[in-house]
Structure formats: C-alpha cells, structure tokens
Amino acid sequence: MRKRIMDWCAVGLLLPFVPACGGSDGATGASGNDGAAALIATADEPAGDNCVDGGTQITYGADANGNGVLDESEIEGTRYVCNGSMGPAGDTGPEGPEGPTGATGATGADGADGADGAPGHTGPTGATGAAGATGPAGADGAAGPTGAAGATGPAGATGATGATGATGDAGPTGTTGPSGATGATGATGAIGPTGPTGATGPSGATGATGATGATGATGATGATGPTGATGPTGPTGPTGATGPTGFKSLINIGPETPGANCTLGGLKITVGIDNGDGGGTANDSVLQTGEIDQTSYVCSGEVKRVFITSTKQNAALGGLAGADAVCQARANAQSLGGTWKAWLSDSTTTAAQRLAHNSLPYILLNGSQVAANWAGLISGTIVNPINISETGSTVGGDGVWTATKVDGTFFGTDTCSNWTSTSGSGRYGGSPFSNAGWTDFNSFPCSSLFYLYCFEQ
C-alpha cells in the first residue's frame, strides 16, 4: 500500500527505542513507504456557474487512508467536463406511407326507451260501502275512596327475660398479714474446690552436656527480595536515514473515440502515481501505462440507441428470452456493443418491467431522436418513427411484434402462446407511426413475418 504525505512528497523519521541501563546506539531507520494509490470520482454537475448546461464533476487525489474510496479530505483537485448546448432540431422527415385500413368498429349501443303515454280518463264513483263493525268497550272507571280505620286489637304477651349484664370491676387489695416464724437451719453445703498450686522451688544444678544430636534437615529457601531500582536511561540512538521522497499523483485527460466505452465518444481519464511501475521512469511527471491505477470515462452526449431489426420472424420466437437473443445477435453482427432487449410483453412480464427506464435520450442509429427519456417514450407520441435498422437502412411499413400498449404495459391478449407458437393471433405495432400505433396497432396471425424493436439497456 502506497502512502502520500504532504504535497506529493513523504519524509520518514524513525526513532528506535533504546533499552535502559546504558543502551547502545539505535539501529538505522527503515526506508519510508511508497506513496498512496491515486483515485478518481465522478458525479453529475448541475447547470450553473461551472457548467452552463450541466455536465460531470471530476475529483481526484491520493488514497491516504487506503480504504479504496476518495474521501472529502483526500481530494486534491477538481475538473469539470461540461455538456454542449442542445443543437437545433432536425428537419421533419418525409411523410410515411399510408397505413392499412383499421378494423371495423364495434356495433353501437341500443337507443333510449320512448316516453310514457298520457294518463287515461277517471272512472265513475263506486257504491257506498256497508256499515262498519261495533267499536271496543270503554276503559274501567276510577277506584273508590279508602274506608275508615278498624278498632285497636288486644295487648300482646310479655316478652322473654333479657340476657345477664357484664361483671363489675374487682375491689381494692386488702392489707398484708404478719410474718411467719423462722424456719429450721439448712444442711451443710458441699466442700469447695482445691486452692492453687504453690510457687516452684529454685532450679537444681545444671547437668552434664549431652552428646550432639544429628543435623536437622535443611530449611526451605527464603522469599526473593524486592527488585532493585531501574538504572538510568541510555542515550538516544542516532536518527534513522530519511525515507525516500514520495511520488506525485498524476491525472491524464484525453479524447475517447466512439465505441464500447462511449457510444458517441468522450473523454478518457486516467490517474496514478509517478513511481515508475511497469518499467517506467519515476518522477518524470508523465503518467505511463504501468503507473495507471484507475481509468474512467466521461461520455459526450450519452444516449440509448434503438433500432428495428433488418430481419423478419414469425411469432415462435422462443419466448421473451428468444426475442432478446434476436436483438442481441443483430447488434453484435454490426459491432454495436451494449446489451439489447426487445420491446415485447407476454402474459407474465410487460415491456415496462423488462426494459431499463432511462433518463437519457433514445435515438435511432442515424442520430434522430425517438424520445427525450423513458417518460417521453411512453407518453403516447414519439418524436420519430422507429424505422432505422441495425445496419442503418430504412425499413418499410410492415408490422412489429409487441403485444404492448403505449405505456409499456401488456395488451392483454394475442401473444401467440407467449411468443412460442405460430397458431393464433399476435398484437403488433406499425414502424411508420409516431403516435400510439407505433406499438399498438392491430392483431394478425402468428405465422406472419414481422420485425422486432430493439432497445439498448
């Protein structure tokens, strides 16, 4: 991993660690590391002071932290590649041939019902009806007043005796009586414990020395004493040799011819370190092939191309994948590059689901615009009919298999068994049209030979 330090150069100072207690001189410092790899990043630049019509912002610098991403703090320079102004609109092409007669319209709806007739004359008055039945009986009258009170009855029997009341409080204690006579003497108690021993008498004379006993076993080793104080630090070793000077980060911007990298040409941007990799010369301010770390392209007038196949095929295409293969084969035969898919839907997947929705213009191979972007493509009207083949020739007014409505969704029927059969009917569009008929015109037998529309992804 290369490392860049300060404005294109690196100076390394290595101070070796010297042990204590009068250490020896330090070792010579190691050589500095190589400079960091150069990185480049591109982003859309909106219309403004830097680019009147918008364009691309290019930032570059060395990958100082080695994470493979050009961080904000690593940016060393910024360039802009601006879009050119929109050119004038091309002349209107000649009017296409008259399309085939449309299908007969559906039968009109039934007419509204007629108005109601006038009311008839009023008939004669009918005879008087019989007398009605007798009505129900009236409600009961109100209750009469309450009668006088009766005489008082005889007295009742005597009630039962009530329960015994609670016991009253105790009276005060009486005075103490006279003391009783003295009792008889008790029995003699048990003998007490023996008293302490008397003091030891004086020692007798020392006896003769006995024979020396056998040597005892060696005692265990004592604990290690504390570590002594650290000695003074030895002198600092000499400064290591200065590392090699870092290498410059270089950028080169040059033209890119039309081809696989840029359909209409543009700019090729290369960045790298001027370190002589690949057999080149270091620090010569020239970015040589072996020194290139990254390559990017900014394409001029980036567009997505569209063509109609120069060959016809019946509806047994091998499904959607088979139709895409036809488009890719036609593009490859003319070395157009890119990935191509057919504008085609079936009962499971619509063209809008299969194809990329680009914000770039869609153009024919002769440079004429079809639509400004995906929204324009499905708006109901395209700028020019899709009638230029992959060879650059103009295709006549025959049908194009689609089964797709103008908004890119499925027509609903007529897919020739999802483009695997020559039986039944298939929905097609007309190559001369720029209205909705370009994709949704009529249905025809699946055995018919029609074209395909092919879109670059």
**Cβ–Cβ < 8 Å for 364, 372:** no
Residue 59: predicted pLDDT: 83
pLDDT recorded at residue 68? 80
Instruction: Give me the pLDDT at residue 420, please.
Output: 98
What is the percent of the chain with per-residue pLDDT over 70, rounded to a whole number? 60
One-letter-per-residue 3-state SS of 184-246: CCCCCCCCCCCCCCCCCCCCCCCCCCCCCCCCCCCCCCCCCCCCCCCCCECCCCCCCCCCCCC
Q: Which carries the bigger pLDDT value, residue 266 or residue 434?
A: 434
- Taking each continuous run of H as one helix and of E as one strand, the counts in the chain are 4, 14
103 Cα distance to chain centroid: 49
| 351-398 per-position pLDDT tens digit | 999 999 999 999 999 999 999 999 999 999 999 999 999 999 999 888
Q: How high is the pLDDT of residue 47?
A: 73
Instruction: Identify the pLDDT of residue 186.
Output: 54
The CA distance from 270 to 282, in Å, is 17
Interatomic CA distance for residues 33 and 3, integer angstroms: 6
Three-class secondary structure of residue 366 per DSSP: coil
Spatial neighbors of 202 by CB under 8 A, at least 6 apart, are none
Report the mean per-residue pLDDT for the chain.
Answer: 76
Say whether pLDDT at 49 is over 80. Answer: yes
pLDDT > 90 in the chain, percent: 37
Beta-strand relationship, 399-401 and 425-430: antiparallel
Question: What mean pLDDT comes out for the span 51-68?
Answer: 80
Higher-scoring residue by pLDDT: 434, 85: 434
Nearest CA among 7, 14, 9, 10 for reference residue 28: 14
Lowest-pLDDT range, 66-70, 414-418, 426-430?
Answer: 66-70
91 versus 315: which is more confidently predicted?
315
- Strand 362-364 versus strand 304-308 pairing type: parallel
Alpha carbon distance 133, 127 (integer Å): 19
For residue range 226-272, what is the model confidence (pLDDT) as tens digits?
877 877 877 877 876 775 667 888 888 877 777 778 766 666 889 88
Mean pLDDT of 344-352: 97
Residue 125 is classified by DSSP as: P
Q: Does the pLDDT value for residue 12 go beyond 50? A: no
Rounded CA-CA distance 27/24 in Å is 9
User: What does the DSSP assignment read for 22-73?
Assistant: TPPPPPPPPPPPPPPPEEEEEEEE-SSSS-TT-EEEEEEEE-TT-SSS--GG
Q: What is the sign of the dihedral through the CA atoms of 90, 95, 101 and 105? A: positive
Name which of 140-144, 254-258, 420-424 the model is least confident about.
140-144
pLDDT band at 13 (very low <50, low <70, confident <90, very high): very low
Structure confidence at residue 17 (pLDDT): 29
Say whether pLDDT at 143 is over 50.
Answer: yes
- Enter the tokens of residue 336: 């157009």
- Name the range with the highest mean pLDDT among 99-108, 115-124, 144-153, 224-233: 224-233
pLDDT grade for 6, boundaries at 50, 70 and 90: very low
Q: Do residues 271 and 294 lie in contact, with contact meaning Cβ atoms separated by under 8 Å?
A: yes
Is the Cβ–Cβ distance between 234 and 22 less than 8 Å?
Answer: yes
- Calpha distance 432→98 (Å, rounded): 9
How far is 95 from 102, CA to CA, in rounded Å?
19
pLDDT at 196: 72
Collapsed DSSP state (helix, strand, coil) of residue 273? strand
Alpha helices in 278-318 (DSSP H): none
Q: Please tell me the predicted confidence (pLDDT) of residue 133.
A: 61
Work out the pLDDT band at 195, boundaries 50, 70, 90. low
d(CA 401, CA 448): 10
Q: Would you state the structure tokens that stand for residue 361, as one six-digit string?
A: 């213009």
pLDDT at 260: 75
Q: Taking the C-alpha atoms of 223, 225, 227 and 228 in order, what is their torsion angle to the nearest 10 degrees?
A: -170
pLDDT given at position 277 = 93
Structure tokens at 103: 């299908």
Contact in structure between 284 and 302 (CB atoms under 8 Å): no
Distance CA 266, CA 384 (A): 26
CA angle 135, 136, 141 (to 5 degrees): 130
User: Hey, is 410 helix, strand or coil?
Assistant: strand
Global model pTM greater than 0.75: no
Q: Which residue has the higher pLDDT, 180 or 440?
A: 440
pLDDT band at residue 427 under the 50/70/90 scheme:
very high
